[in-house]
Amino acid sequence: MSLGKIIDKANNDLFKRIDKQKVPEHVAIIMDGNGRWATKKGLPRSFGHNKGVSVLKEIIRASNKLGCKILTVYAFSTENWTRPTKEVDFLINLFTEVLKNEIKEIHQESIKIKFIGDLTPLPETLKKTIYSSESLTKNNNAFLLNVCVNYGGRQEIVKVAKELALKSSSGEINPSEVNEELFNSTLLTQGINDPELLIRTSGEKRISNFLLWQLAYSEIYISDVLWPDFNELEFLKAIIDYQSRNRRFGGIESLPNGSYEDSQCTS
Ligand code: FPP
């Protein structure tokens, strides 16, 4: 059997093990390890980022096929500006080129693309490409791809706090009206449910300022695989692991009929 056929069979076997009724609607991904992948192979870090793009395409396809509805990926954090100028320029150029080359196919697949973050400091060419891609795909409804660029979770929370403080001081809202619901509807991710699952590759066990508010109750799956080596098989493993979790949201496990037993209370 060829390597391709073995991989297809492994993917199909895992695919069959997935409970299609319990597929997460929204998956968030910290795509980490591009630089290490390249360095290990004696290549410039840019090779890792290039390979990372093809992995992202594979994961968009896999999650769409599985029935996920939203994928939110961390492409460039507010902290990534501290990288050497050459790497920052490479990444900015990569985003522009990938978007220009892929937008036709993204649109054909009825994928809506949105960019999340403070886009103000990005170069005009990238901003133009972002705005035209968002506008072209705004009515698509098969799948939502959120790309976080110049994004920081703390910065997002401060932005919401400022907006609500301004509305309070101008009398548009009463401070007593500030609650989780209003906060949620002022976030950059307004209108979509929080991710049920966060995947981080490369073995790092940190959230790194990603979706701090939205990940409050997400299940976290850490994969030791570096992002350029991540693939559909690894993604399916993450989904199977997620399906084995018992999500309690701070409560306790209920009995199969949905009730609770007094004996479950130990003190
Ligand atoms: C983290 O690896 C990866 C990034 C900072 C960039 C991720 C970007 C892509 C995969 C391209 C996506 C493209 C589009 C258009 C959305 P790292 O460089 O931090 O790796 P390291 O931890 O090994 O140094």
The alpha carbon of 256 and the centre of ligand 1 are apart by a number of angstroms equal to 43
**Ligand 1 in reach of 80 Cβ (< 6 A):** yes
Strands 70-77 and 111-116 come out as: unpaired
- Reported as a single tens digit per residue, the pLDDT across 210-245 is 999 999 999 999 999 999 999 999 999 999 999 999
CB 72 within 8 A of CB 189: yes
Which residue segment(s) compose the domain that 207 sits in? 23-152+195-242
Catalytic choice (50, 64, 80, 93)? 80
pLDDT at 131 over 60: yes
Residue 15 lies in a domain: no
Residue identified by tokens 């001081």 is 169
Nearest to 220 by CA among 247, 184, 180: 247
d(CA 146, CA 214): 13
CATH code (residue 100): 3.40.1180.10
Residue 264 lies in a domain: no
pLDDT at 257 over 90: no
Residue 66 lies in a domain: yes
Residue 22 CB-half CA count within 13 A: 14
Six-digit token string for 142: 């098969």
Residue 58 lies in a domain: yes
Residue 62 lies in a domain: yes
Nearest to 57 by CA among 45, 73, 41: 73
pTM: 0.92
- Reported as a single tens digit per residue, the pLDDT across 135-171 is 999 999 999 999 999 999 999 999 999 999 999 999 9
Minimal-distance CA residue to ligand 1 atom 24: 35
**Count of structural domains, the chain:** 1
Six-digit token string for 95: 């985003």
- Reported as a single tens digit per residue, the pLDDT across 54-94 is 999 999 999 999 999 999 999 999 999 999 999 999 999 99
Residue 215 lies in a domain: yes
CB 59 within 8 A of CB 70: no
**Ligand 1 in reach of 72 Cβ (< 6 A):** no
**Ligand 1 in reach of 196 Cβ (< 6 A):** no
Alpha helices in the chain (DSSP H): 3-17, 34-40, 45-66, 85-108, 124-137, 153-169, 180-184, 232-243
Q: What SS3 state is found at 79?
A: helix
- The predicted structure's pLDDT at residue 7: 80
Residue 260 lies in a domain: no
Residue 177 lies in a domain: no
